Each structure stands twice: as structure tokens, then as C-alpha cells.
Amino acid sequence: MTNSLFKGTQIILLTVLSITILYFGKEVLAPLAMAGILAMLFLGPSTFFEKKGMPRWASALIAIACLLVICSGIIFLLNWQLQSFAEQVVDMKKNIGDMVSKVQSWIESRVGIDETRQKAIVEDQMKNGTDVGSTSIISTLFGMLVDFILVLVYIYLLLFYRSRIKAFLLKSTKSDNPKRTLEIVDSASTVAASYVIGLAKMILTLWILYGIGFTAIGVENAFFFAIICGLLELIPFIGNLTGTAITLLGVMAQGGETGIIVGVIGIYAFVQFVQTYLLEPLIVGDEVNINALFTILSLVIAELIWGIPGMVIAIPCAGIMKIVCDRVPALQPIGYLIGSDKKIKYRKR
């Protein structure tokens, strides 16, 4: 009983300490964790090129170049679609103005605050928050740029020094368990890479489905909204709802009819059905063997600790945690608790 209580106390203290370190070390650990997941994605191609005689520094640079090309392509697509928005700015401002007038009239009739008073309240809020808001936006954009550069640097260094990192892991474990350590590393790399590849395929498929659907019902700039909805798939659960909300707001700002608004909601429901019962089993597969309860908990905890970046990498990190728990005898009960009944096979990389 005493031993069990002591072990339980150790686990609780270790959990609290880990969460504290993750929370206060966000600025350093979040980009590193993101880079670690992406480095696992490029591990296979880098190994392939090195077997063909390419030096490791060159294979790591190729991985960075591929990531930059992908990001540049997405930015190009968004910029291309945003150009068409510039032609509709005048009409959208008029539609937004009409919407605001209707909302103001509704507030006046329901709450009793006239339009003059409402405008005064809004202007007062904007006056108090404009400078802070502008500074916050600039600071956020600069922080995102710095984090992106850090991620690229970390990916290169993780790929370049991966042999040393693996040797460190082997030296840190017991001498009679090197095979188990190697199996954990290989399985974790496979799960992370498979999840990222599956997610990329999912996003491309969603672009096509949303693009066809939005075009069919007459949504202006349909491909732009399709790209947004697909990219927000990076944030599980919440991303789908956010993308649809942005599309609905865009349609209303463009003066869309009620039929188009209902059509957007219908397309969202249809795509979600296809995604859940067809795309996820075929494209994403069962690489991340985590049950629904722990998936949601991991997303909530990751958001509390690291915000949006935490939600993006929460699921692959949970999958890696499951692999470690399954292969360490003392942690196997935790692995069973967070796992599902799906049987998956890990391929060596």
C-alpha cells in the first residue's frame, strides 16, 4: 500500500512538473516539438538520398527546400484568390454596412440602445484599443516569423544530428534493452510521418470537395474559402467549424442569398460525413491509436499549455506517447487506458 501510494505521488508530481515546464518553456519547446514532428516526416526521404551517396547536410537542406516550396505554394494560392477580393471591396463594404444597420436596428428595438449610443460605445472601445491592437498584431506577426525560422533551423539540425540523438537515447536506456529503444524510436517516427502525410492528403481532398461544392452553389471566391476550410483541418474538430463560420461570414458580406447560406451549411455537413466515414479510414488510417476521450483531452490540454500550435501537434504527440507507454512495462496500464481497440502495424523506417 505504501509503495503504491509512493508511486502514485511520484506520477502526480512528475505530471505537474512536466506541465509546468511545458507551459513556461513554450517559446522554446513549441517550435522544437513542431520541428521534431516535421523532421520525422522527412526522415525517410533523407535516409533514401543518403543511401544514394548524398551527404547528410545536403539531404537535410533538401527537406528544408521542400517545406519552403510547399509553404510558398499555399501562400501563392491564397494571394491569388485574395486579389479577386480587391475587386469586390466596395460591394462588400456596402453589404457589411447594411448588415450593421440591421443589427443596430434590432438592438435598438430589443435592448433600447439607439444607434447614436451604439456608435459612441464602439468608437470609445476602438479609441482605447487601437494602439494596443496594432502593436499586438505586429508583435504576433513578428513572433510567427521568428518561430517559422526557428522551426526550419531545428528541422535541419534534427535531421543532421539524428544519429547522435539516437545514440543518446540508447545510452540513456538500460544496456539490456537497446532493441526496445530502437523499436520505440522507429515506431514513433512512423506514426508521426504517417499522420502528417495522411493529414496532407486529407487537406488536398477537402480542397477539392469544398471547392466543387462552393462553386456549385454559387459562392464567390469559392476556391479561397475551400483553401481556408482545408488548412484549418490542421486544428482538429475546431478547425472545421471555424472554416465554415468564416465561409458563412464571407458569403453574408458578399450579399449572399439565404439559399447559398443554407447550401454552405449543407456542404459542411456532407463533407464531414464523407470525411468521418470514408476519408479518414482510407487516407489517415489508424496510425494514431488513441481513443476519442483522450484525443479530446489531449487537444484541450495542449491548447491550454501551447495554444493553437499545441492543438496542431497534440494528436501525433499523443500517438507517440501511446507507443512509449505500450513498450514500457510500468506505463502499460496508461497505454491501455488512452488506446483504442484498433490493431495497427508499425513499419520500420
* Integer Cα distance of 37 and 49 in angstroms: 20
Residues 183 and 91 sit within 8 Å (Cβ to Cβ): no
Measuring CA to CA, which residue among 79, 99, 78 is closest to residue 253? 99
Q: Quick check: helix, strand or coil at residue 343?
A: coil
- Contact between 30 and 306 (Cβ < 8 Å): yes
For residue 95, what are the contacts with CB-CB under 8 A and spacing of at least 6?
252, 253, 254, 255
Per-residue pLDDT of the chain (349 residues; tens, 9 = 90+): 566 666 667 777 887 888 888 888 888 888 999 999 889 888 888 888 888 889 999 999 999 999 999 888 888 887 877 776 666 665 666 666 666 666 666 666 666 666 666 566 656 655 554 444 456 667 777 778 888 899 999 999 999 998 888 888 888 776 566 777 788 888 888 888 888 888 888 889 889 999 999 888 888 778 888 888 888 888 877 888 888 888 888 777 766 677 888 888 899 889 888 887 777 766 655 556 778 788 888 888 888 888 888 888 888 888 888 888 888 777 788 888 888 766 554 444 4
**Rounded-to-integer distance, Cα 236 and Cα 199, Å:** 10
Q: Which amino acid is residue 226, in one-letter code?
A: A
Question: At what angle are helices 26-41 and 292-306 packed, to 10 degrees?
Answer: 130
End-to-end, the C-alpha distance of the chain in Å comes to 43
| CA distances (Å), origin 93, targets 33, 85, 96, 279 | 42, 11, 5, 38
pTM: 0.76
